[in-house]
Structures are given as C-alpha cells and as structure tokens.
A and B are shown apart, each in its own frame.
Chain A
Amino acid sequence: AQSVTQPDIHITVSEGASLELRCNYSYGATPYLFWYVQSPGQGLQLLLKYFSGDTLVQGIKGFEAEFKRSQSSFNLRKPSVHWSDAAEYFCAVGAGNYGGSQGNLIFGKGTKLSVKP
C-alpha cells in the first residue's frame, strides 16, 4: 500500500535561511507526488506536483521539489525563507492505479515550519 513519511514534525529556521523539508514515499511505480501548505485555520493549498518528466519541479511562492526515485524521496526546498512561510507542510502521494492519477491522495503527517526573525 502507498504511504508517505515526513520525518520532521517541527522545523525552525531563521528568516532568509534556506529550507529543506523531507518526504519519503512508498509506491510500486512512478507515483504522483504533491506538496501542500496549510496556514492556521485554513484549508490546504497546492504548492507543486510531480507527475513525470523533469525531476525538479517548480511551484508557487518560490518553492521547488526534487523527485529522486532511487531514494523514494520528494523533498521540498526554498533558498530563502520568509516569515510568511510559517505554516504546516504536507507531502502526499496519489493512491490508486495509473501512478496514482485517479482516486485519492495519501498524506504524510505534516511538518510544521516556524520562522525566526
């Protein structure tokens, strides 16, 4: 069965510093992978997604993620964090057939990001 692991529950970085949030997945084929962000009291907003092709994908708000099949990872990065990036970040994999293109998403437990001034 598909699964997603986000090893870090909480990360604190200084404003302006670089950021990397880790995500490992379990899936038998090439999965559909996603990163979402959730601000307090809000729903989840899609940051970026990977289906195929270039393994480095660009998203909104200056985020990028790299798909590494050999490591079953899809880590999220940002070169310079802003205070407004403080939120909770969720990695997800598409469940079901066809690489997960149909059906539901399976989410990791999330990583809460705090930003120090």
Chain B
Amino acid sequence: DAGVIQSPRHEVTEMGQEVTLRCKPISGHDYLFWYRQTMMRGLELLIYFNNNVPIDDSGMPEDRFSAKMPNASFSTLKIQPSEPRDSAVYFCASSLRGASSYTFGSGTRLTVV
C-alpha cells in the first residue's frame, strides 16, 4: 500500500485566496483525520470522519475552514479565504477502527503571505 497520500506537499498562496488540500487514505480504513501542526499549538485535531461521515468538527477554527469526504478514497480540506495565521503543516491520517492504528501522510506545508 502506498500509505496516506497528501497533495500538494507545499503550497504558497496569497492572503484571501482559496486553498484546497487533498488526502487519499489507505484503502479499507474507515476513519480519516485532519490535523494542523504549528510551533505554538502543536498538533491540533481539526475534524475527523468515520465511514465518510463527519463525526467531530469542533476543532475547525472558523467558518473559513471546511472539509469534505465524498467517498472512502478522498477527502479535501478547504480554506477560503486564507489568512497568514493559517500557515502551518496540515496532516491527514487514516485508521481502521479509530485510534488503534493511525497512519499519517507526509503533510502539506501551507504558507499564506
């Protein structure tokens, strides 16, 4: 298996632009998680899905952030409009049966200028 695949690896965008991050989970995994990592706040859970259904989105910072999982093999995290404080590394992870077997992607480093 190729693991959890995230794209792009790096994204530089201007403030106010829309940003879409993509994630392909491991085939057969039923949970998908989006985390954000910053120096100040560490790893924060943004949202997670179980069987393509959002379960907990309480970590999504504000309405500018949205996430979808249209099918079991694809998820997106969208920021619109982006702001400099959104600059971070965004990780996607997938697992089978919740917390027991996380696999992380390599992350997307987002820089908003």
Which positions in A face B, CB cutoff 8 Å?
32, 34, 36, 41-46, 49, 51, 90, 94-96, 100-110
Contacts and interface: CB of A to CB of B under 8 A. Distances in A.
Contacts of A45: 104
A51 B100 contact: yes
A96 B98 contact: yes
A103 B102 contact: no
Interface of B: 4, 31, 33, 42-43, 45, 48, 55-56, 91, 93, 97-107
A110 B100 contact: no
Given A43-B91, A109-B42, A103 B106 contact: no
Most-contacted residue by chain A among B4, B33, B55, B102 (CB, 10 A): B102
B42 A102 contact: no
Contacts of B43: 90, 107, 110
B105 A43 contact: yes
A42 B106 contact: yes
Contacts of A34: 99, 102
A95 B106 contact: no
A101 B102 contact: no
